[in-house]
Structure 1
Amino acid sequence: MLDGRSINTISWFALVIATILTSFPVWSQQVREAGTVATLDFAIAETLFAVQDLPVAMGGVSNYQSWTEDDSLPPNLVDIGSNPQPNKELLSTLNLNTILIPLQYAYLKDDLSSIAPVAQLSPYNTSPLSGWEKMIAFTKEIGTHTERKPEVHQLIANADDRMNHLRDTATTLPQPLLLMQFLDTRHVRVYGRNSLPGIILEQLGLRNAWDGPSSRWGISTIGIGELFNMEAHFVVVDTSHLPSRRTTQENVMASELWGQLPSVRAGNTTLLDADFWVFGAIPSAILFADSLINAFESK
């Protein structure tokens, strides 16, 4: 026969077991949602924002926001400092599933591997694939590393649909197009075939006026004087929203040299809203495509 103390003990154990059983689903959900993906690259970061709901730790947050003017970053985003020199102490306190880094930060791989598994990837690589195929392969890699394959495939499908929709409209745009950005009062950066703008021009069936040499990112620096020999419609990536670039852009566009260029004198110039990351992946590619079409439709 059980005395009062035994009954109380049994009741206490029953309460404990009941509490554990009822709280277990919540506990397991918290563990599942706690895994964070860290990255030191904006192209990787914007893809993560598009395909996953887990927390993201990212370097250079303020620089990314300044360039893209993106006010819709995830509320649980963790800023881990600069991309070349991330805050390793902060990283070590996070519940990291993986750290995804671009190819140019290979020197950090061994050091960061002591914190979490590290993978290197970039849509701008030396693969023989086309630029768009490399972007798709890059996006699929992210899906593999984050276990978000269905979401990644949906992102790719949506991007293909958007490109198909814009391709018909793009046939009305002048050609060829020369995409550029002012670096200083004497030099511009031009975007070639392997750059994000160049990749999207090709996807839209548009001719890129720049067929000269370019870097792994598809960019080249040339003197503004070289633009005298370019028969093209100039598309200028508008960076006037960046305080460090605003004065340069204003000075160049007000200069006598710029005003004497044949394309400028003929009125064949268009300012393009830089609401995309120029070294980005599929999310920025779609923003660029939309921005390009909108820029000409609003002229």
Structure 2
Amino acid sequence: MVGACGFSRRAFLAAACAVAGRALPAFAADGLRLAAVDWAMAETAMALGHPPAALAELIGFRDAAVEPPPQGTIDLGLRGAPNLEALSLVAPDLILSSSYYSAIQPRLERIAPVFTRALYVADEPAFPKVMALLAELAQRLGDPAAGPRAQAAAQAEFATLAGRAAGFADRACLLFELGDSRHIRVFGTDSLFSGALEAMGLRNAWTARTSFAFAAPVPLEKLAEYPEARLVIVGRMPPQAERGLGSAALWNSLPPVKAGRVHRLPELRPFAGIPSALRFAHELVAALEGRA
């Protein structure tokens, strides 16, 4: 809206950003202008065709992004302690958050309405929640048709991957990150990646309890209890750990290692949305096929 002086809100924002030494944030051609402090929310908004104008920890998000954020996206600083001045200058219509950041929600609400969900809760499967989030967020953004459309596309993609993975369904997968040459973090059945496994018709070998998607730290010796599993290492291994693993007698004595049933995946986001779940699924199927 333009006032009597002919100075629009956009022009005011551009001037304010110039004073602060920041670029003018991206504006959606239509719909709500978004800012995101939670990466799962940001991914979901992008999958719906509504990328946020501003995003917390932008550089980190880009590092393992399924889809890079648009040029001109504003960095809001830390997810748990965003720069409120920068957030105010963005002038969002809606802030996307999650239960991880409930402590700062009152401060966010002083800037704009907040859309938040508890996506990752101990002992509660995350995959159905992030799938449902597509429809819930689309509804809140005033674009309700985008949610079912994105869900149908994701389900079709998982079905295609399930066809490719069918030949590997005879063995369960043990998914883990390697902290050092003696300890691992195991993804449990409440994790995003475990949900993606199930969507492909595969099984998670780890059925014990976890804490917010992980069991950690778990001694490497625990892997000896899963002689029939496929071992799937998610993410980059510390160089020292990788060197130590290559010469570790315990590791090299494990039946999956001796049989060549060890698969390496790149850095992936375990606390994200359906786009990251699909990326995990694609990477896993490619790794399995590479060893077939």
TM-score, structure 2 normalization: 0.82
> Structure 1 regions of 5+ residues with no counterpart?
1-19, 21-29
Paired AA for residue 226 in structure 1: K
Write out aligned runs for 1:27-176 (5 A).
33=30, 35-53=32-50, 55-66=52-63, 68=64, 72-125=68-121, 131-173=126-168, 174-176=170-172
Q: CA RMSD in A?
A: 2.4
Match of 2:287 in 1: 295
Cα distance in 2 between the residues matched to 1:203 and 1:153: 17
- Deviation, 1:104, is 1.6
- Could you say if the C-alpha distance between residues 145 and 171 of structure 1 is closer, same or farther in structure 2, counting changes exceeding 3 Å? same
Cα distance in 1 between the residues matched to 2:243 and 2:144: 45
The structure with the greater share of residues assigned to helix is 1
> Structure 2 regions of 5+ residues with no counterpart?
1-5, 7-26
Query: How many equivalent pairs are there?
Result: 263
- Could you say if the C-alpha distance between residues 271 and 127 of structure 1 is closer, same or farther in structure 2, counting changes exceeding 3 Å? closer
Identity fraction in percent: 28
Cα distance in 2 between the residues matched to 1:195 and 1:93: 36
Cα distance in 1 between the residues matched to 2:248 and 2:183: 13
Cα distance in 2 between the residues matched to 1:92 and 1:278: 30
- SS of the aligned residue for 1:85 comes to coil
Residue 223 of structure 2: which of 205, 227, 233 is its match?
Answer: 227
Cα distance in 2 between the residues matched to 1:31 and 1:294: 35
Match of 2:244 in 1: 251
Maintained 8 Å contact 2:66/2:279: no
1:211-239 C-alpha deviation (Å, 9 max, x unpaired):
011123x2111111111112211011131
Maintained 8 Å contact 1:48/1:56: no
TM-score, structure 1 normalization: 0.80
Paired AA for residue 73 in structure 2: L
- Deviation, 1:36, is 2.5
Cα distance in 1 between the residues matched to 2:167 and 2:259: 18
Cα distance in 1 between the residues matched to 2:196 and 2:110: 38
